[in-house]
């Protein structure tokens, strides 16, 4: 639970922290015109020895660089000049390890199972904490009553003040940890089903690409006006252009828009729009946005980060309370034993 809390508080600001750690890769000076994906490909090819492009992640902000995914790593490119700012190996970063700890303790399936049951334990702790607090309803911290009183007051006050966000984080974490079981229940309650992806029925073609990445993006944007592309996957990896788009004002399901295009003629092979999500799918998307804190933007991200960090404070204060009670219990047993021996 402590590992989940500390890593969760960091992950709430993962993009901002990543840019802070690598400002020379993340930030660019906005220019007059953004280069086309074709020109960016040419610039990356010249500077990195012709390595093929797996996907593009266009910048969503004028002052942030464009990311070009390569087999060897991620190239950060100034989209106004074509200059490669640097290359990083995917996943092998501090934040990558933090994410691995938060999701699976770094141990794969075993760690994932441990963490999802830890989320259940966190939810039960929040509920039982409310039950224990209710008879005394303590809302003040006394520093003059000794260490035990101080830690007890601190544990009680912080626990009740953070009860709602902690409960929401734990409950949403349980749903994410047991997503397949939770999804079945949610679809049953909402009388809905997983959203059916619209497909054309035609198979991907092989051969000459008559449609380049820029044309694929233009077609995708025409099918979803107002949406901004944030990832473009090349046809070498799957036989189709896959364009992921985002509605920036929709913080729940705005990023769940996908269009797949045939590179030979630009025909739409697959279409998945956030506006078409079923009730059950929308609830699952809202649960994820609630857990990450993105549901209302920066205010809820700050709240999620602070609430996650409070898990550590509660664990620390709870440990001090337990240790003090344990010492009192041992002293009482020792005293009783001495009296009996006399």
Average of pLDDT values for 82-111?
86
Q: What is the mean pLDDT of residues 153-160?
A: 90
- Contact (Cβ atoms closer than 8 angstroms) between residue 214 and residue 36: yes
| Per-residue pLDDT at 92 exceeds 80 | no
The pLDDT of residue 139 is: 86
Given this model, what pLDDT does residue 177 score? 93
Residue 91 has pLDDT above 70, yes or no: no
- Lowest average pLDDT, out of 26-40, 279-293, 314-328, goes to 314-328
Unique residue bearing structure tokens 């400002």: 23
The answer to whether residues 101 and 11 touch, using CB atoms and an 8 Å cutoff, is no
Fold classified for 200-277: Nuclear Transport Factor 2; Chain: A, (3.10.450)
Tens of pLDDT, residue by residue over 101-155, are 998 887 788 889 999 999 999 999 999 999 989 998 888 888 777 777 888 888 9
86 versus 203: the higher-pLDDT residue is 86
What pLDDT does 242 receive? Answer: 95
pLDDT at 216: 96
Segment 11-14 long-range contacts (CB within 8 Å, at least 24 positions apart): 11/95, 11/98, 11/99, 11/102, 11/292, 12/292, 12/293, 12/301, 12/302, 12/304, 12/305, 12/308, 13/301, 13/305, 14/95, 14/98, 14/99
pLDDT in tens, 209-218: 789 999 999 9
pTM of the model: 0.84
Percent of the chain with pLDDT over 70: 96
Q: What is the pLDDT of residue 205?
A: 59
Measured in degrees and rounded to the nearest 5, phi and psi for residue 178 equal -115, 50
Domain boundaries, the chain: 2-95, 107-191+295-338, 200-277
pLDDT in tens, 189-203: 999 999 887 776 666
Neighbours of 59 (CB within 10 A): 19
Residue 204: predicted pLDDT: 58
Residue with tokens 């025409």: 222
| Residues 1-26: tens digit of each pLDDT | 899 999 999 999 999 999 999 999 99
Residue 337 has pLDDT above 90, yes or no: no
Residue 207 has pLDDT above 80, yes or no: no
If you average pLDDT over every residue of the chain, what do you get? 90
Of the two residues 169 and 333, the one the predictor is more confident about is 169
The pLDDT, as a whole number, for residue 322 is 86
Cβ atoms 304, 165 nearer than 8 A: yes
Give pLDDT, residue 167: 94
Which pLDDT score is estimated for 87?
A: 93
Phi/psi of residue 82, nearest 5 degrees? 85, 0
- pLDDT, residue 274, reads 94
Nearest to 328 by CA among 91, 185, 101, 147: 147
């Amino acid at each position: 639970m402590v590992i989940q809390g500390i890593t969760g508080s960091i992950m709430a600001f993962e993009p901002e922290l990543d840019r802070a750690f690598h400002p020379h890769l993340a930030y660019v000076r906005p220019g007059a015109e953004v280069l086309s994906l074709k020109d960016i490909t040419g610039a990356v090819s010249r500077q990195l020895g012709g390595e093929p492009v797996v996907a593009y992640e266009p910048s969503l902000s004028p002052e942030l660089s464009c990311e070009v995914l390569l087999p060897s790593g991620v190239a950060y490119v100034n989209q106004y000049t074509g200059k490669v700012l640097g290359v990083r190996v995917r996943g092998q970063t501090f934040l990558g390890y933090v994410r691995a700890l938060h999701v699976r303790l770094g141990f794969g399936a075993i760690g994932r199972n441990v963490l999802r049951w830890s989320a259940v334990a966190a939810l039960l702790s929040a509920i039982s904490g409310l039950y224990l607090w209710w008879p005394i309803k303590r809302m003040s911290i006394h520093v003059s009553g000794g260490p035990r009183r101080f830690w007890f007051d601190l544990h009680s006050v912080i626990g009740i003040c953070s009860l709602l966000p902690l409960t929401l984080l734990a409950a949403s974490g349980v749903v994410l940890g047991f997503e397949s079981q939770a999804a079945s229940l949610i679809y049953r309650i909402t009388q809905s089903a997983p959203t059916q992806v619209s497909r054309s029925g035609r198979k991907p073609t092989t051969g000459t690409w008559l449609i380049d990445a820029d044309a694929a993006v233009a077609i995708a944007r025409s099918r979803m006006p107002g949406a901004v592309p944030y990832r473009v996957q090349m046809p070498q990896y799957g036989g189709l252009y896959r364009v992921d788009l985002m509605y920036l004002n929709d913080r729940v399901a705005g990023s769940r828009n996908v269009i797949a295009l045939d590179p030979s003629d630009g025909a739409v092979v697959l279409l998945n729009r956030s506006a078409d999500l079923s009730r059950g799918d929308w609830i699952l998307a809202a649960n994820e946005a609630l857990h990450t804190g993105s549901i209302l933007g920066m205010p809820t991200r700050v709240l999620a980060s602070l609430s996650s960090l409070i898990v550590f404070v509660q664990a620390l204060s709870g440990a001090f309370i337990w240790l003090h009670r344990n010492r009192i219990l041992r002293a009482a047993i020792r005293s009783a034993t001495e009296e009996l021996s006399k």
